[in-house]
Each structure stands twice: as C-alpha cells, then as structure tokens.
Structure 1
Amino acid sequence: MDIRQLQYLVALDEVRHFGDAAARCHVTQPALSMRLRQLEEELGLTLVTRGHRFVGFTAEGERILAWARAVLAAHDGLHAEASVCRGQLVGTLRVGMVPLAGFEPIPLLQQFAAQHADVRFELKSLSSEQILAGLDTNKLDAGFAYADGRHERKYRLLEVADTSMGLLFNRERWSFAAETLDWSDLEKLPLGILSKGMHFRQSVDHALQSAGVEITPLVETDSVEFLVQSVSAGLCCAVMPMGGGLEQRDEALELRPIAGSHTLAPLCLATRRSAPVSALAEALQQFVCERLALTDQ
C-alpha cells in the first residue's frame, strides 16, 4: 500500500467517475483502476462496486475511505508541520464557506495569502452542516459556518460575525415607508427562500414562527445566485443577511433591515479539535483571531 493508492480512492469518491478521477490524479484510467484493484487485493476487501461505469462504494469501502482521508490528512499535515519548522507554510488549505452570511471571508483569505505565498486554497460553498461534516471526515481543514456552544466539544470556534437579516427587494417594483421592517410586513409579499435544511432557512423559519407570520414561498432554491437573480428580475423579495453586499450586485436592489432579526447561531471559523489538526488550519485560526482583535480596537 502506498499514498498514491489512497489518493486515487479519495479522488474517485470526490468525482464519482473513473476517468475524471484518473485525470485529476494525472494518470491513465487503466493505471488508476489497476492500483485500486491492487489495494483491494492487499486488504482482502471489495471497496468499489463496478458495472459498466462507477456505481459506488461498498459498505467496507466507505469505512476504508474514512481511514484513507485520515491518512492523507496526516500525510499533508506532516509536510505542513515540517514547513512550519522551517519557518514557512506550504500546502493547500481546504475551506468551506456558507453561501449566505453577513461577513465576507475572502478579504481575510487574501490577507492570509499575502503573508504565506506558498499556501494554495481549495474553496467550497457548503451548508453549515456539510462544513462540520467535512471537518469530521478530513475533507476540510477549516470552515466559515453557523455554529454555537453545542458544537464546541468537537470544534474550535472563533466567532466572526453576528448575522442580522433584512429584506432584499427590487425598488423599481416595491417600496416601503419604514426604514426598518417587521416580519409582519413580509406576510403578503411574494418571497424567495433557501431550501429547507440550510441554517439560514432555519433561522428565517424560526423568526417567522416566533412572530406568528405564515408565508407560502413563491421561490425555493438551494442557490443564492438563483435567489438574487429572482429578486433582480422582480419575481420576488428575499430575506438575506445584512452586510453581505448582495444589494450591490444590481443598482435596483435594496436591502432593508428587519427589526430584531438574527440567525440562530453566529457565523464562526470552525476547525477540528481532535487530531489530526492541520498546521494550515491552526495558522488561519490564529491569523483571523489577530485580525478580529485589531478590528475591535
């Protein structure tokens, strides 16, 4: 067994296609398939369910995948730790980010990159639940996610923003007299909203229920981009985070605050507590903590 076989296995899981996995690993498809079969023979297990194309992983394969990711994370962490000992950071920092937040993490990552020229970034737009699961399975090193005290046993959490909410609308179609809206103002509006299961949607549903307001969404989507496009077109209005800059995408858009509205949990930079913990993740956590301290002064 060698590290390349584990890389092939994880690549196959991520792209779910033999040819695409081979291309990602810069080998031919027959070479990738042969090395995976050698891994199966060595372990005495069938890891991959094969047909004319990739079908999926066996139950045993899913268990081995978890170990493969842990080994690869440790391998990457070893190299990152060695680079730290040499006084530099080297490697790929895998970061998950929720698509809706009243905080823009890219400027922070840009500042971090300016200090560490040999660090590369792999960025993924995911729900908070997916980000925390990605930390658990070593698919991610860090994530900007909605999390609170319930999660502190498993994750190191650094609060970066307390997200308030507002109504995003096209001012060419709608107008509101009040500078700050109430949830009751939304009751008769055609609303667009994120799909169920996402933290921001849970926060909106909780706020509406607490205010005794019932809505029937006109648009439901898991795409922030589709939601903003729907608002720009005048199809609907949408509850969005304040401070995220979404209203700047179209000069006709306006984001009006909703009184007393906050997400159920604050936005946090989350990293693993248990080993292996990436040296890159630790460096990012320390960097963001320092930057936030400077901002508060």
Structure 2
Amino acid sequence: MDIKQLKFLIALDETRHFGRAAARCHVTQPTLSMRLRNLEEELELPLVNRGQRFEGFTAPGERVLAWARSVLAAYDGLHAEAAACRGHLVGTLRLGVVPLSSFDPLPMLQRLHQQHPNLRFELSSLSSEQILEQLGSNRLDIGVSYLEQLDSERFESLTLSETHMGLLFDQRHFEFGEQALSWETLTELPLGLLTSGMHFRQSIDHNFHSRGLNPKPLLQTDAVHQLVQAVHGGMCCAIMPLEGGLDALTEHLRLQPIEQASTLAPLGLIMRRSAPRSALAEACFALYQQSMADS
C-alpha cells in the first residue's frame, strides 16, 4: 500500500468516474484501475462496485475511504508541519465558507500568499453542517461558519464581526432614498430569497416572523449567483449581508441598510482541536488575531 493508491481512491470518490479520477491523478485509466485492484487484493476486501462504469463503493470501501482521507491528511499535514518548523508554509489551505458570509477571506489569503508564495488555496462554499463535518474528517483545514451550538470540545473558534443585513437592488429599477428600510416595507417588494433551511434564510424568516410579517418571495434559489443575476435584471430585490461587498459587482447595484437586521448567530473562524491539526489553519488563526490586534 502506498500514498498514491489512497490518492486514487479519494479521487474516485470525488469524481465518481474512473476516467476523470485518472485524469486528476495524471495517470491512465488502466493504471488507476490496476492500482486500486492491487489495494483490494492487499486488504482482501472489495472496495469498489464495478459495472460498465463506476457504481459506488462497497460498505467496506466506504470505511477504508474514511481512513484513506485521514492518512492522506496526516501525510500532507506532516509535510506542512515540517515546513512550518523551518519557517515556511507549503501545501494547500482548504477553506470552507457558508453562503452569504459577511466575512471576506480573500485579504487574509492574500497576506498568507505574500508571506508564503508556495502556499495554494482551495475555497469552497458549504453549509454549516458540511463545514463541521469536513473539518472533523480533515477534508478542510479551516471554516467560516455560524457559531450556534458549536461543539467547543471538538473545535476552536474566533468570533468574527456581527453580520448585518441590507437590501440589494438595482438602482435602474428601484429607488429607496437614504433611510434604513423597515421590515414592513420589505413585504411590499418583489423579494428574491435563498431557499428555506439555509442559515441566512432562517435569520431572515426570524426577523419577519418575530414582527408578525409573512412575506411571499417572488423567487427562491439555493444559488447566490442566480439571486444576484435576478436582482441585476430588475426581477426582484434580495436581502444580503450589508458588508458583503455585493454592491461593488456592478455600478448599478446598491445595498440599503435594514432596521434592526442581523443574523441569529455570529460567524466564526473555526478549526479542529484534536491532532493532527493543520499548521496552515493555525497560521490563519494567528494572522487573523494579529490583524485584529493591529486594527
């Protein structure tokens, strides 16, 4: 067994296709298939359900896959840790961020890249549940998520600034003056909202329902870019993070403050407590703490 076999296994899980997994790993498909069969023979277990195409993992395969992720994370972490001990950061920092986060991670990543040019980044938009699950399984180094009911025994966190809400609109189609908008006013507008169940939408619903209001959104979607496109086309207005910078995407978009509008729970920068813990995550925490001390 070697690291490459485990990488092949993980690539197959992420692509769900033998050919794409082989291309990702820069090998031929027969080579990938042969190495995976060698792994099965060594473990004396069937790992992959094969037909004319990939049909998923066997039950033992799913369990081996979880171990493969842990082993590969430890392998990558060992190299990152050794480099950190030499005063350098190398590897790929994997960051997960909840949709419509008011925290912009790019300045932090830019500073890390300036200090450590060999560092690379993977940035994913994930739900709160996905972020915690992937932090726990070492598929993420760090997360930006809501701190509501966070298990402080498993995760360490730094609280970010409170997320306030504003109304995103296209000034070619709507005009609201200079005053902050009331929630009552919003019920009279064609609204586009994220689908129910998403944390930001739960905060929106709470703000409406706690005032006895029942809006009827014109559009609901789980894709932020589609929501912004609908606003830009004049189809609707959308409740978004006030500090999210979405109004800078085009010259026509504006964000109007909403009275007494904030999310139910604060955002936080989160990493796992238990070993193996990413040296890259620790560097992010230290950089953010330093930036707060300097501001």
TM-score by length of 1: 0.95
C-alpha contact 1:70 1:276 (8 A) present in aligned 2:
no
1:146–1:268 Cα contact (<8 Å) kept: yes
Which one-letter code corresponds to 1:248 in the other structure? A
- Conservation of the 8 A alpha-carbon contact between 2:108 and 2:284: no
Q: Supply the distance in 1 between the matched residues of 2:145 and 2:111 (Cα, whole angstroms).
A: 20
- 1:68 aligns with 68
Q: CA deviation at 1:3?
A: 0.9
Change (3 A) 1:72 1:59: same
Kept after mapping to 2: 8 A contact 1:5/1:39: yes
Once the two structures are overlaid, the 10-residue window that deviates more, 281-290 or 94-103, is 94-103
Q: Residue 87 of structure 1: CA displacement?
A: 2.0
> Which residue is equivalent to 1:267?
267
Q: Does 1:205 align with 2:205?
A: yes
Mapped partners of 1:152, 1:124: distance in 2: 23
In 1, the alpha carbon distance for the partners of 2:247 and 2:211 equals 25
Three-state SS of the structure 1 residue aligned to 2:167 is strand
What is the identity, as a one-letter code, of the residue corresponding to 2:66? A
Other-structure match for 1:110: 110
Q: Distance in 1 between matches of 2:74 and 2:277?
A: 8
CA distance in structure 1 between the partners assigned to 2:166 and 2:140 by the alignment? 30
Look up the match of 2:7: 7
Q: Which residue matches 2:168?
A: 168
Deviation of 1:16 after TM superposition, in Å, equals 1.1
DSSP-derived class of the 1:274 partner: coil
Task: Identify unmatched segments of 5+ residues in structure 1.
Answer: none
Mean CA deviation greater in 238-247 or 210-219? 210-219
Residue ranges of structure 2 left out of the alignment (5+ in a row): none
Q: Cα distance 1:150–1:132, how it changes in 2: closer, same or farther (>3 A)?
A: closer
What is the Cα deviation at residue 216 of structure 1?
2.0
Residue of structure 1 in register with 2:131 after alignment: 131
Q: What is the CA distance between 1:129 and its match in structure 2?
A: 2.1
The amino acid that maps onto 1:37 is: R
Report the equivalent of 1:143: 143
Contact (CA 8 Å) 1:164, 1:261: kept in 2 or not? yes
After superposition, residues 221-240 of structure 1 pair within 5 angstroms as: 221-240=221-240
User: In terms of mean alpha carbon deviation, does 56-65 or 76-85 score higher?
Assistant: 56-65
1:18 maps to what in 2? 18
Residue identity opposite 2:28 in structure 1: T
Task: Tell me, in whole angstroms, the C-alpha distance in 2 between the residues paired with 1:209 and 1:9.
Answer: 47
Match of 1:55 in 2: 55
Checking the alignment, whether the CA contact within 8 Å between 2:163 and 2:263 is kept in structure 1 is yes
For 1:180, the equivalent position in structure 2 comes to 180
The Cα offsets for residues 133-176 of structure 1, whole Å up to 9 and x where unpaired, read as: 21112111111222245332321111222100011112222222
Residue 202 of structure 1 aligns with an amino acid whose one-letter code is Q
Alpha-carbon shift at residue 62 of structure 1 (Å) = 1.6
Deviations 1:251-295 (A, max 9, x none): 222211111111122121111112211111111111111112212
Aligned to 1:78: 78
Secondary structure of residue in 1 paired with 2:160 = strand
Q: Could you tell me how far apart the structure 2 residues matched to 1:53 and 1:196 are?
A: 36
State the secondary structure of the residue aligned to 2:110: helix
Q: Between Structure 1 and Structure 2, how many residues are aligned?
A: 295
Q: Any idea what SS the aligned residue of 2:150 has?
A: helix
The 1:83/1:178 distance shift into structure 2, 3 A limit, reads closer
Separation in structure 2 between the aligned mates of residue 293 and residue 185 of structure 1, nearest angstrom:
40
Deviation at 1:127, TM superposition (A): 2.1
Residue pair 1:128, 1:147 contacting (<8 A) in 2 also: no
Q: Say if 1:180 and 1:257, in contact at 8 Å, map to a contact too.
A: yes
Residue matched to 1:27: 27
RMSD across aligned positions (CA): 1.5
Q: Structure 1 CA distance, aligned partners of 2:197 and 2:155? A: 21
Q: Secondary structure at the match of 2:71?
A: helix
Over residues 111-146 of structure 1, what are the superposed CA-to-partner deviations in whole Å (9 max), with x where a residue is unaligned? 111111121111112222221221112111111222
Distance 2:240 2:165 in 1: 6
Judge conservation of contact 2:94–2:122 (CA < 8 Å) in 1: yes
